[in-house]
Structure 1
Amino acid sequence: MVQDTEERASSVTPSTPARALLPAILPALAVGVISSLILVGVSAAAEELQDVLWQTVPDALGVGRYSVTWMFVMLVGTGVAVGLVVWKAPGHAGPDPATVGLDAPVLPPAVLPGLLLATALMLAGGPSLGPENPIIAVNVGLAVWLGGRAVPRAPGRIWPALAEAATLGALFGTPVAAALVISEVLARQETRGLLWDNLFAPLTAAAAGALTASLLEHPSFDLNLPSFGRPGWADLLAVVVVACAGALLGMCAVRALPYVHGAFRRLRHPMLMLPAGGAVLGALAALGGHLTLFKGLDEIAELARDPDGRSAGEYALLTLVKLAALLVAASCGFRGGRIFPAVFIGTALGLCAHALVPGVHASVGVSAGVLGMLLAITRQGWVSLFVAAVLVAEAGILALLCVASLGAWLLVTGRPQMQLREDGTPVR
């Protein structure tokens, strides 16, 4: 009896004393604020440049802001500009973006200015990528470089975790998303101690990043879609079917990535790869229209303002064109992330389901489409659930999404991811 009690006591995970956690607060707050300021600064600069390129200049030239000619010129020009940066900047603006996920490598400080410039040009120019991957890489590089000098005795692995958490907190305006991502990472690693002890410093950084971004930008993901009320059996069926459809559609892009990436890689030089990618994106923009440009958040809000304003065919076209644009932009060398374009694709898919089958509520369709698409593109279960839920902001949607995630996860788990190794083969 005594032996059993001793064995149970020894199996209990010991908690970390408060005095061991307190020293991490100030570094975490500093990383959180700085990481958020970098994200906000790059986003603001890109928006100002976007206004010039897509409003001031075409108005001065007397051409349509989103005419086929101007979209093609801008996307090819963006390919040329980013190609020059990748070609000439120290470190070539970081590694091939098709080989990088949210867990960014630690880049030397000399590489970071080129990566920031390439990201800002991409965001302003119109390719279908978001800021998350390159900004995380920049913040990780800065945190490791500055943190290692300011607190040389701190464990080196703490700085990337703080920077990633801070950037995710700033991106979504809440530390919850960062906590969910880090908990998935910790689950894959052999970590000691209680979960909340391990999350303490990253969550502090994420909270600081989220508060800084909220004070400066007031980010919101709620699309203000019509309320669907109390969930019913029809909603459960709809959310499962649409989420699985989104996962399958996303896996089509995942499967195609090595082939599309290989085609651009045969061009060998960034001044060929990126302008060629810009030309393909220009052709896709001519087909899908201006809503298929940029990272997609403003465009999602435009779709959500009138869910019944387009036909199922129009929503299907937006879905397929944006998916193709994401695939091309991620393959040809533009520096950017895939989460925000995937949210647009899932939203358009959900509204397509609503237009095709009126019994599918717009809110249910959108949240399910985003869930399935994000599971396929990111392979991040918690973040996919979180983003899908906050777009609708109804408590009743959570139970439906949890059920839908099970079937969609079975379709994507164990299969290739939308990330490549250096030799061009997919990560599994």
Structure 2
Amino acid sequence: MTEQAATAPAPMPLKQLAMLAIPALIVGVASALILWLLNTGAGLLEGVLWTSIPSSLGLPDDSRLWTFVVLTVIGAAVGLVVWQIPGHAGHDSATTELVAPPLPLKVIPGLALAVLLSLAGGVSLGPENPIIAINVAISVALLGKLWPKIPPRLILMLAAAGTIGALFDTPVAAALIFTGMAASIPGPGALFDKLFLPLVSAGAGAITMTLLGQESMAFPVPPYPQAHAIDLLTGTIIAAVAVLLGLAAAVALPRVHTLFHRMRNPLIYTTIGGLVLGLLGAIGGRITLFKGLSQTDQLLTNYAQYGFWTLLSFALIKVVALVISASAGFRGGRIFPAVFIGAALGLAAHALVPSIPVGLAVGCGAFGATLAIARDGWVALFIGVITSGGMTILPILCIVILPTWLMVSRAPLMLVTHPVDGPAAEPEPAGKGA
């Protein structure tokens, strides 16, 4: 035994690991409840904006004028929040990864309001980045007082894992995302020891959302029946096209972001962003609006009603809407829109070549778009499997990922890294050690 191994600190005692499962469970349940409250509030507001008001005005459900009006008004409302509410709705979502350092608590009300408005108003962003930021901030602040001996990094992982478990309705997504993060934690101990507490939190979050009856990612896809040699070629082509479309969005994001932020005032550039989103929504229809989860379900339920060019237009419009939404100061994540983009592309491939199984086409399309936009192979594989209707596609995806990962591994991230001007650029730091 080497001297280094002899002096290495012992793994966390089992009793301590078991005791920490209690706050992990609490954080997971609380993270899911906060997500549920946000989704419920957004759903109620969405019903008012898109059903009650137009109905009272005698407008048809698919009114293009109303789509334009709502998104323009939502842009102005979000711009006011970013400009005037203390904390300026936190970090610009275009500049942050899925999991970011904790924000100060005073930022949370403005961030929650901005996300609520965006989700209800039809902006093409998901809730993932902001709700993780909200849950991390609350958990670090509260657990830091109740259990001060728990390291802030561990609390961050618990809150993020609980939220991811709730978002995807399964702890598997959190396990995949946090494998790399857990492996980087210094000290001895098996990898699963380090993943144990985040998995407890993720499982609690997933079960809580299931009990609350929240929408899931169980899409109505005809299961991919059986792998054939030709599927390796067709799956790779579909995934590669989806990757190229996602990479185009990644290249465009910093440039479009700079263009919007030259206007300096969030009220101006977010209102203009809403106006552009309204035009896109009027062209593509409401199926191209919102975060994309319900719209993906709708698309997969009724795909036979759409032709190749219509499905391709859905994917292209959603890509542009995603870039505009992320660039113009709205708060939200990019994974759920990526799923819609990939599903629409896959269905377009099936419409063009009907012999391609729907499950294969959709799974490879969603895999490729997620890989390019989220830049996480584990998440992309998870999305590919869950959108394909079953595990049969997994061996195909494990081969398809080889050329597609080479395509994305040195390509630009869909992230803005240059300094951002304006009041939303630099929220106050969360403090040392956070």
Q: Tell me the TM-score range normalised by the shorter chain.
A: over 0.9
Partner of 2:306: 310
Q: Percent identity?
A: 46
Cα deviation for residue 13 of structure 1 reads: 11
- Other-structure match for 1:288: 284
Q: Deviations over 1:143-201 (max 9, x none)?
A: 11001000112212111111100000000111110011000223455554210111111
Paired residue for 1:247?
Answer: 243
- After the TM superposition, which parts of structure 1 deviate over 6 Å for at least 4 consecutive aligned residues? 11-14
In structure 1, give the amino acid aligned to 2:157: A
Q: 2:130 aligns with which of 117, 134, 138?
A: 134
Task: Report Cα offsets for 1:293-325 as digits up to 9, x if no partner.
Answer: 001111111111133221110011001000000
Query: Counterpart of 1:175 in structure 2: which amino acid?
Result: P
Distance in structure 2 (CA, Å) of the matches to 1:78 and 1:394 = 38
- What SS class does the counterpart of residue 134 from structure 1 fall into? helix
Residue 345 of structure 1 is matched in structure 2 by 341
- In the other structure, the counterpart of 2:165 is 169
Report what 2:108 is aligned to: 112
1:232 corresponds to 2:233? no
Superposition pairs of residues 253-292 of structure 1, within 5 angstroms: 253-292=249-288
- Residue 334 of structure 1: CA displacement? 0.5
Matched, 1:394 2:396: no
Q: In 1, are the aligned partners of 2:221 and 2:389 still within 8 Å (CA)? A: no
The structure 1 residue matched to 2:88, chosen from 76, 86, 92, is 92
Matched residue, 2:354: 358
- Tell me the amino acid that sits aligned with residue 39 of structure 1: L
2:179 corresponds to: 183
CA deviations on 1:315-360 (whole Å, 9 max, x unpaired) are 1100100000000000001011001010000000000111111222
For structure 2, the 5+ residue unaligned runs are 422-434
Q: Which runs of 5+ in 1 are unaligned?
A: 1-5
How far 1:424 moved relative to its partner?
Answer: 5.8
2:15 corresponds to = 19
Selected match of 1:29 from 11, 15, 25: 25
| Paired residues of 2:169 and 2:217 also in contact (CA < 8 A) | no
**Structure 2 Cα separation of the partners of residues 30 and 119 of structure 1:** 24
Question: Quick one: distance in 2 between partners of 1:227 and 1:143?
Answer: 39
1:208-264 Cα shifts (integer Å, max 9, x gaps)? 111111100244322222233221112221111111111111000000111100110
Number of corresponding residues: 420
Aligned partners of 1:13 and 1:194 also within 8 Å: no
In structure 1, C-alpha distance between the alignment counterparts of 2:259 and 2:391, rounded to whole Å: 45
2:394 partner amino acid: L
Q: C-alpha separation between the residues in 1 aligned to 2:372 and 2:354?
A: 26
Aligned counterparts of 1:226 and 1:379: Cα–Cα separation in 2:
27
AA at the equivalent of 1:280: V
Equivalence for 2:218: 222
Structure 1 residues 90 and 424, CA gap change in structure 2 (3 angstroms): closer
* 2:202 corresponds to: 206
- TM-score, scaled relative to structure 2: 0.93
Letter matched to residue 267 of structure 1:
M
2:429 match = none
Q: 399-408 or 217-226, which moves further after superposition?
A: 217-226
Contact kept in structure 2, 1:307 and 1:362, CA below 8 Å = no
Distance 1:192 1:107 in 2: 30
Q: CA deviation at 1:90?
A: 0.9
With CA pairs under 8 Å and 6+ residues apart, which has the higher RCO, 1 or 2?
2
SS at match of 2:257: helix
Q: Does residue 59 of structure 1 match 2:55?
A: yes
User: Displacement of 1:95 after TM fit?
Assistant: 1.2
Aligned Cα root-mean-square deviation (Å): 1.9
Q: What's the TM-score once normalised by structure 1's chain length?
A: 0.94
Q: Once the two structures are superposed, what CA deviation does each residue of 1:352-385 show, in whole Å capped at 9, x if it has no partner?
A: 1111112221111100001010011001111111
In the alignment, the residues of structure 1 paired with residue 70 and residue 291 of structure 2 have an alpha-carbon distance, to the nearest angstrom, of 15
For 2:367, the equivalent position in structure 1 comes to 371
Q: Distance in 2 between matches of 1:368 and 1:348?
A: 11
Which residue, 52, 75, 82 being the options, matches 1:79? 75
Q: Which range is displaced more, 146-155 or 212-221?
A: 212-221
Q: Secondary structure, in 3 states, of the residue corresponding to 2:212?
A: helix
**Shift in Å at residue 8 of structure 1?**
12
**Which deviates the most, 248-257 or 63-72?**
63-72
